[in-house]
Structure formats: structure tokens, C-alpha cells
């Protein structure tokens, strides 16, 4: 499943990915990156876009509090994806709200709240890849 979802995370299928290149980085450099590295850059692109200082360095423990995902969802669709879940102190309830928010923009619920809270990197990679495939927001 992971391979199917990350297959579309390429310049061929999404030329807008070039916006994720670092300064001085060539197209060839970007082509060498694995899909997970592109997803991390994509998350950080949207976090920066909404003015959040937090940076994601992995698709596991950095996402288990749902904060980065909620902020990225808000960046993708401010009308459907509010920041209200950030006020939830219970991480499982916050993760549940995150999944429901992702569903509101058409992303299927491929993970459970406990998968997010545990920082399950395999399942979070699948979830983030599906978010990207649903709406990457790289105009």
C-alpha cells in the first residue's frame, strides 16, 4: 500500500514538487530524494507557509501529537480545516479530530487515532502520502 501511495510523489506525476527544492538545489538533486524525504519537505513547506516554526524531521514521532498535520490541513483548506483540534489536550481525541478533518477534504481514513499517537512511521507515511495525493497545495 505504501508503495502505491508514494509512487505518485514524483516530478512526473506532480511537477509542482519542484517548489520544494532548496535554494541552489537542481532538478536532478530533487529526483534523487526518496518519497518520504519529499513528504517531509512538503509538510515543512506548508508549516512555513502558515508561519509555524516547528519543523518535521521524520514521519513518525514528529507527527504523533498531530500538531503539524493539523497545521498543514489548515494550510490546505482554511474553510474546512480549522485549528480547533489544537485546543484538545487528549492526544487520542486530537488525532481523531485530525483524521476527521482530513476526511473533510477527501482523504480516506487510513489510520486510527492510536496509530498517530504511537508515532507509527509506516502508517503515518501512508496517511501523509494520501494527504499529499488528495491535495498537495503546491500551486
Domains of the chain: 2-134 (1.10.418.10)
pLDDT, tens only, 83-101 = 999 999 999 999 999 999 9
Q: What is the pLDDT of residue 127?
A: 95
Q: What is the pLDDT of residue 8?
A: 63
Q: What is the pLDDT of residue 7?
A: 61
Residue 136: CB atoms within 10 Å = 19
Instruction: Compute the distance between CA of residue 33 and CA of residue 18 in angstroms, rounded to an integer.
Output: 12
Q: 93 is written with which cell numbers?
A: 481525541
- The model's pTM: 0.91
State how far the alpha carbon of 98 is from the alpha carbons of 88, 103, 118, in Å: 11, 9, 14
Task: Kindly write down the DSSP assignment for every residue of 45-81, as one continuous string.
Answer: HHHHHTT-------SSGGGTTSHHHHHHHHHH-TTT-
Q: What is the pLDDT of residue 74?
A: 97
Q: What is the pLDDT of residue 13?
A: 74
Orientation angle between helical segments 35-49 and 67-76, nearest 10 degrees:
70
Radius of gyration of the chain (CA): 14
CA 64 to chain centre: 12
| Nearest partner of 5 among 125, 115, 99, judged by Cα | 125
Site of grid cell 500538531: 67
What are the pLDDT tens digits along the chain (139 aa)? Answer: 555 556 667 667 778 888 999 899 987 888 788 889 999 999 999 999 999 998 999 999 999 999 999 999 999 999 999 999 999 999 999 999 999 999 999 999 889 999 999 999 999 999 999 999 899 999 8
Amino acid at each position: 500500500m505504501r508503495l502505491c501511495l508514494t509512487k505518485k510523489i514524483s516530478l512526473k506525476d506532480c511537477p509542482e514538487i519542484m517548489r520544494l527544492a532548496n535554494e541552489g538545489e537542481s532538478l536532478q538533486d530533487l529526483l534523487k530524494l526518496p518519497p518520504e524525504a519529499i513528504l517531509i519537505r512538503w509538510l515543512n513547506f506548508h508549516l512555513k507557509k502558515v508561519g509555524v516554526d516547528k519543523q518535521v524531521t521524520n514521519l513518525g514521532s514528529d507527527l504523533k501529537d498531530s500538531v503539524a498535520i493539523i497545521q498543514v490541513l489548515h494550510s490546505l483548506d482554511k474553510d474546512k480545516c480549522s485549528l480547533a483540534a489544537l485546543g484538545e489536550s487528549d492526544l487520542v481525541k486530537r488525532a481523531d479530530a485530525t483524521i476527521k478533518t482530513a476526511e473533510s477534504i477527501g482523504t480516506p481514513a487510513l489510520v486510527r487515532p492510536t496509530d498517530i499517537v504511537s508515532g507509527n512511521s509506516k502508517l503515518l507515511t501512508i496517511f501523509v502520502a494520501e494527504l499529499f495525493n488528495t491535495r498537495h497545495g503546491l500551486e
